[in-house]
Structures are given as C-alpha cells and as structure tokens.
Amino acid sequence: MSAITEIKYCPDYKTFGGFKYHLNFPDEWITTELSETGRQCWNCVGNGENKGYGMWRGVIIGYCSNCATDYNMTRGRGFIGYGIEHNCDGPSAFDLYLGDIDWTNYGDLEANPEDTLEKRIMFLEYINIYVVDPHEDPYDYIECQDDVEDPDVEDPDDVEDPDDVEDPDVEDPDDEDPDGYPEDHYYPEEDDFGTCIHIGCGEGTDTGSSYCVKHRRKYDP
C-alpha cells in the first residue's frame, strides 16, 4: 500500500489520506467511506477558515450530522462542533467507539486555538436551551457570546467626565432669577400690596412700591 492509503498508527492518533483520526475510530469506516462524506466532506473536516464539525483540535473524532444521516446513524448521530453530538435520536459515537476523551489534553491546541474548553462548555449550554438544526451554523451562538460585555469591565463611555462634574461652590447661571434679582431679593407677598398713596388715586400698589404703576414713575426714583 502507498503512504496515502495506508493507516499509520501514532501514540495519540492514526493517520490516513493526510488526516488524523482518533485511535478508536474504526479502521473499516475509514476505508469504506461513501463519496463526499467524512474526509471528503467540508462539514466534517473543514475547509480553510471553516471549521470541521467532526474534529477536535485537528483530529477527526466522527462525522458531521449530515454524513451521519447518510450512514443511517450506524456510525453515530453526528457532531455539530467542539466535540458535541447532535441531540437527535440515535446511537452516540462515545458509546459506539470513542469512549472517554480527555478534552483538556487531546489534540493540538496550539494549531487549533478555537477549540477551547470554555467554548465547548458555552456550546453545551446553547444546545441545552435550543433545538439545534443540523443545517444551521453551530458557531453563531459562540460568536455572539464573544460579543457579550463583561459586567466586571468598565465601559469607557460610562466613565464620568471630570469636566461635567458640577462644582458646588460655582453658581449655576440657570439658577438665577429670570428677572435679574439676587436670590435673597425681597418679593412682597400679596397681602403687602396696598393702595397708592397718591391723593385721590386709589389704585393698587401691585408693583412692590407705595405707588401704583402710573404714579411710581412720577415719585419713585
């Protein structure tokens, strides 16, 4: 056999066709994959910036949920990312062949920095709330969570501008009397108003003066 079609075994994985597989991934499945499934499926192994749903840190651990349907769930119910299976009915890959995986240490984190335990936990929270459609992008939720503001981080827009802080010793011009009188100016009460003292007038002195409006101009300076 050539190096391309021969399964090679390493301490933590095996290789075939230029891809790394989990050691427990059945050899028979690797060599009998249907066309456009598994390593020929971009959903399973990724393409460029698109992450493979059936991989964890560069190692194939199973099929995407679409390919799982092509195999009538005989090879598991399919993965939707971060080592998490679709929540539909069907046998689990972990029961069929995977067993327990040490998610912390398995695979190459340096080459696959997106595959973190934090995002795996975050995605588990997502599928516990929503019914995941296998045709939807399962990473939308993770990207949204990356945008959520940390309540412990202060928003610079919420920091008070020292120029906006009022000085208690500086009088606000908006608080000045509209008539231009100082704050302690005496405003006569209604009962203080009387009758103009000009003989024979009798008009009310509603101007704060002893004279009515007409005679105030004459007598008051």
pLDDT tens sequence across 156-182: 566 566 666 666 666 665 555 555 545
Token pair 């009188």 is at which residue?
181
Residue 14 has pLDDT above 90, yes or no: yes
Whether 178 maps to a domain, the answer reads: no
* Same-domain pairing of 129 and 195: no
Query: What is the predicted pLDDT for the residue at 212?
Result: 76
Do the domain assignments include residue 164?
no
pLDDT of residue 89: 85
Same structural domain, 189 and 89: no
Residues in the chain: 221
Last residue of a domain, one of 146, 167, 202: 146
Distances (CA, A) of 46 to 28, 157, 185: 22, 40, 81
pLDDT (tens digit per residue) in 57-95? 999 999 999 999 999 999 999 999 999 998 888 999 999
Judgement on whether residues 96 and 18 belong to the same structural domain of the protein: yes
Q: 138 and 193 in one domain?
A: no
Structure token digits, residue 192? 């203080």
141 in the same domain as 42: yes
Q: Is residue 151 part of a domain?
A: no
Q: What is the DSSP letter of 34?
A: P
CA 109, CA 133: separation in Å to the nearest integer?
27
- Tell whether 137 and 197 lie within a shared domain: no
Flag whether pLDDT at 144 surpasses 60: no
173 falls within a domain: no
* 190 and 125 in a common domain: no
Q: Which residues contact 58 (CB under 8 A, 6 or more apart)?
A: 20, 107, 108, 111, 112
Does some domain include residue 58? yes
167 belongs to a structural domain: no
Single-letter amino acid code for the residue at 127: I
Taking only Cα atoms into account, the Rg of the chain, rounded to an integer number of angstroms, comes to: 41
Are 214 and 108 found together in one domain?
no
Residue 134 shares a structural domain with residue 211 = no
Range of the domain at 209: 183-221
Residue 65 lies in a domain: yes
Number of domains observed in the structure of the chain: 2
Distance, CA of 79 to CA of 69 (rounded, Å): 11
159 part of a folded domain = no
